[in-house]
Amino acid sequence: MKMTGAQILCESLVKEGVEVIFGFPGGAMLPLYDVFPHYPKLRHILVRHEQGAAHAADGYARAARRVGVCMSTSGPGATNLVTGIANAQLDSVPMVAITGQVARPFIGKDAFQEVDTTGITLPITKHNYLVLDVSSLAEIVKEAFHLALTGRPGPVLIDIPKDILTDRAEFHYPSRVKLSGYRPTLEGHPSQIKKAAKLIAEAHQPLIIAGQGVLISRAEAELKQLAETAQIPVVTTLLGIGCFPQTHVLSFGMLGMHGMAYANMAVDASDVIMAIGMRFDDRATAKVSAFAPHAKIIHIDIDPAEIGKNVRADVPIVGDVKRVLGALNKLTLPVEHIDWIRQLDDWRKEHPLLVKESDKLLPQFVIQQIAEVTHGEAIMVTGVGQNQMWTAQYYCYDKPNSLISSGGLGTMGFELPGAIGAKIGCPDRTVWSIAGDGGFQMTIQELATVAQEPVAIKIAILNNGYLGMVRQWQELFYKRRYVATPLSSPDFVKVAEAYGIPALRVKHKSEVLPAIKQAMAESGPFLIDFMIEPEENVFPMVTPGASLAELIEEPGKEEAIWRQ
Amino acid sequence: MATMKHTLVALVENKPGVLNRMVSLFRRRGFNIESIAVGVSELSHLSRVTIVVNGAATMVEQVRKQLDKVVDVVKVSDVTAEDTVARELALIKVKATASTRSEIIQVVDIFRAKIVDVAADSVIIEVTGDDDKINSLFNLLRGFGIREMSRTGQIAMTRGGTGMSPVKERLSRSPEQGSQLKSQ
Ligand SMILES: Cc1ncc(C[n+]2csc(CCOP(=O)(O)OP(=O)(O)O)c2C)c(N)n1
Ligand SMILES: [Mg+2]
């Protein structure tokens, strides 16, 4: 029986096991929305701006470890998706974005709401398609989901002209894809794995830097086995947080620009580094030429283009982290590194990351209290800036996929729609959106989505009255000239209430714990506006151009120097 | 960083947008492509692309790996260091009067080029060869007055062996080549 393109698309999405679509309709998509009522398995969540749809699909994908799906109409709908697609590309998030397009006869004529969507998204997608024949639609959907989820995941866009949605074809869903140019290398090369095992066996001060690739490949168990067998301490990247339990004796926090002092010191002192499923981002390595000066580097990544891109690799291994570590574990014999681990423990004792004793309402204290109340079991979805770094530093992450944050693109406004997606992807987990007062206002309209569904997320605004991270740089490097960073905001409590979401304002330290408990007691969404210390800074910090070893952790002294 | 000329040869799906995907990887890194030549390969659904660029070896290698990640690119190699046959075709229109025509013919003969069109005051010369040969001919013809030149861009092929067959390369993986295989 012949079906319309709209039906074929829906049937294909059902075949892919899609349960949720974050979208916003428009003229070019009308034929599709018209058939949605016949597909009750496809839950459509109406966002208030297409950027929200893409971020929600992203949060959903990371929390549920599935492909997130977002959808928009042609023209402005598609361009509004762009930031969210780029975000997914930079953080390797599996996503399928479906955009409407003007009907085929209008393409290339600057028709109403026509933009070159595949052209615009070409550099920010893993792959994209313009559907020109309804009989190829099912195959394209199949390929799109395959590409999004396999290898190094990423966003794939399908641009569908309106008349394709009404055109008819037989529906056959292919059982496999034919992509001769796409065959991710999954197994690591045996001789390289042997070399790695040898290096590990000979190491005196080995260190694992674990990235998001461990989570993507679900290799937490293999990582733990390797670390425990060869007694290798583990630090993670920002997006790698959660891939190794932070309560483990071998866990030494996060490295990088705002990483823990002891984590960065470990990198600096190590003689063999295993970089697993990470890409040596400049925020993680700081000054590349001074990165890990004493270490031989084993780099495991599924993307060959990441090997040797930023940091030399002595033993490159292209492959899926889970399989490579599985093979490596077979060759790894128990060793002890008691002195090295004791050294790291000493560094941790000497340079701890503590919440300062203070009567003021400090953001670090807020995050720590949320960790207490949620027993470290919540999913934390952050904005970008200081709120993001405090959340990364002061929550305690023991479970995989517990921190969802815009790492590569650093997209303010991710916090709210990202949390919506995470909660819908993991309805049984507590989800906290940790927002900046600046970033929150970039996607604040999604409060309506939260209220309409409703989505039972808890929102904590770390309200410092500033674009805080930019203000911090102005304080440190521009002699405290606060240009365009002081921020006036609406009364967020009233705003939330206007959307029908209960909310509280917290001004004093003593109110923090009761407020968090009240939010948790509420079955639905809840917002807390924390009026935090305005000029609190994020430390430790590796200043731009410095190496990880040159990290600054005592604000008191240095601040005085910088402020001159 | 020292730059040099690199020749990349790619086997790609014959689909709309493939060239755009490839070229955009050079554009975003500020490369100026010296030449790019495309045509169908021995398999009708695949095209072979030869790209000549100037760049630092590490940058070119990074682009090559990124090219390899393009879903529609089946395989791409940097053949710069390999033993290759490289050819390009040029059409050169030269001013020719009754008095210079025979002299032009002599030059054309020496280069084993061909005169493919004769007009009242000019001739079109077709020449095939590598970069050096075409440049030398061009320089010699300058004295007569060059009206127009058009070049196809270089195509290249490695000598001997079974060449860049899409099947063969998967059978002989070394660890280094492993990293050249498709993945993303
Ligand atoms: C869309 C976007 N625009 C600009 C920036 C640059 N930027 C990085 S952090 C930051 C400040 C964020 O302010 P806020 O959301 O209040 O968070 P805070 O740092 O105060 O916690 C800015 C403007 C960005 N990351 N994203
Ligand atoms: Mg702020």
Would the pLDDT of A560 be above 60?
A: no
Ligand 1: lining residues by beta carbon, under 6 Å: A 383-387, 410-412, 436-439, 462, 464, 466-470
Q: What is the ipTM of this complex?
A: 0.90
What is B4-83+160-183's CATH topology? Alpha-Beta Plaits (3.30.70)
Residue A470 covered by a domain: yes
pTM over 0.90: yes
A112 is catalytic: yes
In chain A, % of residues over pLDDT 70: 98
Task: Determine the atom of ligand 1 nearest the C-alpha atom of A413.
Answer: 1
Answer with the one of A302, A322, A350 that is the final residue of a domain.
Answer: A350
A469 is catalytic: yes
- Residue A192, φ and ψ in degrees, nearest 5: -70, -40
Residue A541 covered by a domain: no
Task: Give residue A398's pLDDT band: very low, low, confident or very high (50, 70, 90).
Answer: very high
* Residue among A262, A258, A253 nearest A235 (CA): A253
Nearest to B179 among A119, A181, A318 (CB): A318
Q: Any idea what DSSP says for residue A130?
A: E
Are A404 and A346 found together in one domain?
no
Q: Where are the domains of chain B?
A: 4-83+160-183, 85-155
Are A387 and A476 found together in one domain?
yes
Tell which B residues from 71 to 110 touch A, by Cβ distance under 8 Å. Answer: 71-75
Would the pLDDT of B155 be above 90?
A: yes
Residue A357 covered by a domain: no
Residue A175 covered by a domain: no
**Which entry of A112, A350, A372, A507 is annotated as an active-site residue?**
A112
Cross-chain Cβ contact A126/B71 below 8 Å: yes
Kindly report the nearest CA distance between residue A309 and chain B, in angstroms.
7
Tell which B residues from 4 to 23 touch A, by Cβ distance under 8 Å. Answer: 12-13, 16-17, 20-21
Instruction: Give contacts of B47 with chain A, Cβ < 8 Å.
Output: none
A472 is catalytic: no
pLDDT tens for residues A77-95?
999 999 999 999 999 999 9
| Mutation site for B-interface testing, chosen from A182, A183, A193, A317 by largest number of B Cβ within 10 Å | A182
Q: Which helix (H) or strand (E) holds A518?
A: helix A512-521
Tell which A residues from 182 to 241 touch B, by Cβ distance under 8 Å. Answer: 182-185, 189, 191-192
Cross-chain Cβ contact B183/A179 below 8 Å: no
What integer pLDDT is reported at residue B1 of this predicted model? 72
Residue A544 covered by a domain: no
Are A247 and A151 found together in one domain?
no
Would the pLDDT of A207 be above 90?
A: yes
Task: Give residue B165's pLDDT band: very low, low, confident or very high (50, 70, 90).
Answer: low
A364 is catalytic: no
What integer pLDDT is reported at residue B162 of this predicted model? 61
Residue A184 covered by a domain: no
> If you take atom 13 of ligand 1, which residue's CA is the nearest one?
A467
Q: What value does the mean pLDDT take over residues A396-416?
A: 97
Q: What value does the mean pLDDT take over residues A414-432?
A: 98
What integer pLDDT is reported at residue B163 of this predicted model? 60
Q: What value does the mean pLDDT take over residues A344-350?
A: 97
Does the beta carbon of A181 lie under 8 angstroms from any beta carbon of chain B?
yes
Does the beta carbon of A154 lie under 8 angstroms from any beta carbon of chain B?
yes
Tell me if residue B155 falls in helix, strand or coil.
Answer: strand
Domain tally, chain A: 3
What integer pLDDT is reported at residue A554 of this predicted model? 66
Would the pLDDT of A557 be above 60?
A: no
Cross-chain Cβ contact B181/A126 below 8 Å: no
Q: Locate A256 and state its tokens.
A: 């990088």
Q: What is the CATH number of the domain that holds A260?
A: 3.40.50.1220
What is the C-alpha to C-alpha distance for residues B173 and A119, in angstroms, rounded to an integer?
Answer: 35
What integer pLDDT is reported at residue A32 of this predicted model? 98
Residue A564 covered by a domain: no
Residues A408/A91, Cβ–Cβ less than 8 Å? yes
Answer with the one of A350, A381, A401 that is the final residue of a domain.
Answer: A350
Q: Ligand 1 centre from B173 Cα, in Å?
A: 46
Pocket test for ligand 1, best of A467, A472, A489, A541 (most atoms within 8 A of CB): A467
Question: Of the CATH numbers 3.30.420.40, 3.30.70.1150, 3.10.180.10, 3.40.50.300, which one belongs to the domain with range B85-155?
Answer: 3.30.70.1150
pLDDT tens for residues B85-132?
999 999 999 999 999 999 999 999 999 999 999 999 999 999 999 999
Are A28 and A148 found together in one domain?
yes
Tell me if residue A355 falls in helix, strand or coil.
Answer: coil
Would the pLDDT of B182 be above 60?
A: no
Instruction: Give contacts of A192 with chain B, Cβ < 8 Å.
Output: 175, 178
Q: Any idea what DSSP says for residue A42?
A: S
Are A82 and A34 found together in one domain?
yes
A530 is catalytic: no
Strand A503-506 to strand B33-40: parallel, antiparallel, or no bridges (unpaired)?
unpaired
Are A194 and A96 found together in one domain?
no
Tell which A residues from 245 to 304 touch B, by Cβ distance under 8 Å. Answer: 302-304
Are A325 and A407 found together in one domain?
no
Would the pLDDT of B55 be above 70?
A: yes
Cross-chain Cβ contact A189/B173 below 8 Å: yes
**Common-topology check for domains B4-83+160-183 and B85-155:** yes
Task: Give residue B164's pLDDT band: very low, low, confident or very high (50, 70, 90).
Answer: low
pLDDT tens for residues B79-92?
999 999 999 999 99
Are A285 and A412 found together in one domain?
no
Spatial CB neighbours of B80, under 8 Å, sequence gap ≥ 6: B4, B5, B6, B7
> If you take atom 20 of ligand 1, which residue's CA is the nearest one?
A468
Q: Ligand 1 centre from A83 Cα, in Å?
A: 15
Kindly report the nearest CA distance between residue A288 and chain B, in angstroms.
16
Q: Which ligand is nearest to the CA of A537?
A: 1
Cross-chain Cβ contact B71/A182 below 8 Å: yes
Answer with the one of A138, A170, A202 that is the final residue of a domain.
Answer: A170
Q: Ligand 2 centre from A438 Cα, in Å?
A: 5
Q: What value does the mean pLDDT take over residues A141-153?
A: 98
Scanning A28-160, the segments in alpha helix (DSSP H) are: 30-35, 50-64, 76-90, 117-121, 137-149
Task: Give residue B161's pLDDT band: very low, low, confident or very high (50, 70, 90).
Answer: confident
Are A446 and A390 found together in one domain?
yes
> If you take atom 3 of ligand 1, which residue's CA is the nearest one?
A412
Q: Ligand 2 centre from A259 Cα, in Å?
A: 20
Q: Which domain holds residue A235?
A: 190-350
What integer pLDDT is reported at residue A555 of this predicted model? 65
Are A339 and A369 found together in one domain?
no
Pocket test for ligand 1, best of A238, A388, A415, A469 (most atoms within 8 A of CB): A469
Tell which A residues from 124 to 143 touch B, by Cβ distance under 8 Å. Answer: 126-127, 130
Measured between alpha carbons, how far is residue A543 from residues A195, A356, A473, A547, A553 in Å? Answer: 36, 22, 9, 8, 11
| Environment of ion ligand 2 (residues, CB < 5 A) | A 436-438, 464, 468
pLDDT tens for residues A363-376?
999 999 999 999 99
In chain B, % of residues over pLDDT 70: 88
Spatial CB neighbours of B176, under 8 Å, sequence gap ≥ 6: none
What integer pLDDT is reported at residue B173 of this predicted model? 38
Residue A457 covered by a domain: yes
Cross-chain Cβ contact B71/A127 below 8 Å: yes
Task: Give residue A9's pLDDT band: very low, low, confident or very high (50, 70, 90).
Answer: very high
pLDDT tens for residues A224-282?
999 999 999 999 999 999 999 999 999 999 999 999 999 999 999 999 999 999 999 99
> Could you give the dihedral angle defined by the CA atoms of residues A225, A230, A236 and A239, in that order, rounded to the nearest 10 degrees?
-30
Q: Ligand 1 centre from A384 Cα, in Å?
A: 5
Q: Ligand 2 centre from A469 Cα, in Å?
A: 7
What integer pLDDT is reported at residue A446 of this predicted model? 98
Kindly report the nearest CA distance between residue A221 and chain B, in angstroms.
23
Which string of DSSP letters, residue by residue, matches A454-496? T---EEEEEE-SB-HHHHHHHHHHSTT---S-B-----HHHHH
Q: What value does the mean pLDDT take over residues A423-441?
A: 98
Cross-chain Cβ contact B66/A305 below 8 Å: yes
Spatial CB neighbours of A494, under 8 Å, sequence gap ≥ 6: none
Nearest to B74 among A152, A180, A307 (CB): A180
pLDDT tens for residues A91-122?
999 999 999 999 999 999 999 999 999 999 99
Widest CA span of chain A, in angstroms?
77
User: Which has more confidence, A358 or B181?
Assistant: A358
Q: What is the CATH number of the domain that holds A128?
A: 3.40.50.970
